[in-house]
Amino acid sequence: MHLSRSLCIASALAAVALPAFAVTKAPTYGPELQGFKYPYPVQHFSFQSQGKALQMGYMDVAAKGKPNGRSIVLMHGKNFCGATWEASIKSLSDAGYRVITPDQIGFCTSSKPDHYQYSFQQLAINTHQLLETLGIQKATVLGHSTGGMLATRYALLYPQQTEQLVMVNPIGLEDWKALGVPYRTVDQWYERELKMSAEGARKYQQSTYYGGRWKPEYDRWIDMLVGMNKGPGQKQVAWNSALIYDMIFTQPVYYEFKDLQVPTLLMIGTADTTAIGSDIASPAVKAKVGHYEVLGKQVSRQIPHSTLVEFPGLGHAPQMEEPAQFHKALLQGLSAL
């Protein structure tokens, strides 16, 4: 009798506790990431492009340490935002840099136009206009992932305004379409983006970005990405994302690495396996793409003034995986270039 009563009480408590856990909802954010907190104040640069009035969100963080008179521009990747540079902004600011961190058009806190001809040239021009408005005549340009392709294009377009180029696990170290990866149409990318889920995004990033590892602090970035995709601007966000994927796949910078004339620091987490479209490639094609431990060395040899820094065992985002190790290497690399 005593035991039965205890079991009933335990069951009742479980019944009370369970719904509170079950109703937990993933956050959602507006089409320009309204509701998501950035580590530093976000300002907006208003400009005209392709007949449209657009706004580009950015953070402008002054040097907190002894100013060295240098500016650095951080360019985010496809599944990232300016906010994901949080640790890097602090490290660089503490080291004396003025740090400019824009969200490109189509991403995060920036406009997502209904119709826009995306190109790396256009995004580079937009960024250059922002820097001119801020009075920055010359800067180090640091790009991660897709931002590495953009930073490369920026350095090619504006060599006199680029003090140094830094690429962190840039995609585009190979031309996937030339290697046999199938083409997805914009409509196919759009349908894929509409189906994005937190579980799917986490699974992809864990296996592709982080070598099967996961840290609790990465969950915030999944919430950011999926929360914007599942928010009230879902179709607008997904459509712009589809256009951007098409830009990435069809506009390789791979063939122009040899034309870079600025000092370049290439920073590679060797466990990265990112390759756009590899999920629909044949087993034979999939087996030959996305090998960063090989690609980093190959591309470093193509760039005339290049220094390669490798992070053995780290993945697509070494600045997020092992921030202390990464930032020590970055600051050393910047001072040596």
Got the DSSP string for 219-285?
HHHHHHHHHHHTSTTHHHHHHHHHHHHHHHHH---GGGGGG--S-EEEEEETT----TTGGGS-HHH
pLDDT at residue 23 greater than cutoff 90: no
Cα 92–Cα 169–Cα 225 angle in degrees, nearest 5: 80
Averaged pLDDT, 48-57: 98
Q: Could you give the CA distance from residue 230 to residue 198 in angstroms, rounded to a whole number?
A: 10
pLDDT at residue 1 greater than cutoff 80: no
Structure tokens at 24: 């937990």
Q: Could you give the CA distance from residue 261 to residue 162 in angstroms, rounded to a whole number?
A: 10
Task: Give the pLDDT confidence score for residue 9 in this predicted structure.
Answer: 31
What is the pLDDT of the chain when averaged over all its residues?
Answer: 93
Encode 181-201: b = buried (16+ Cβ within 10 Å), e = exposed. beebeeeebbebbbebebeeb
N-term to C-term CA, the chain = 79
Task: Give the pLDDT confidence score for residue 24 in this predicted structure.
Answer: 55
In terms of CATH architecture, what is 40-181+254-336?
3-Layer(aba) Sandwich (3.40)
Averaged pLDDT, 169-194: 98
CB distance 121 to 91 below 8 Å: no
Domain ranges of the chain: 40-181+254-336
Structure tokens at 321: 């995986």
Structure confidence by residue, pLDDT tens digits, 279-334: 999 999 999 999 999 999 999 999 999 999 999 999 999 999 999 999 999 999 99
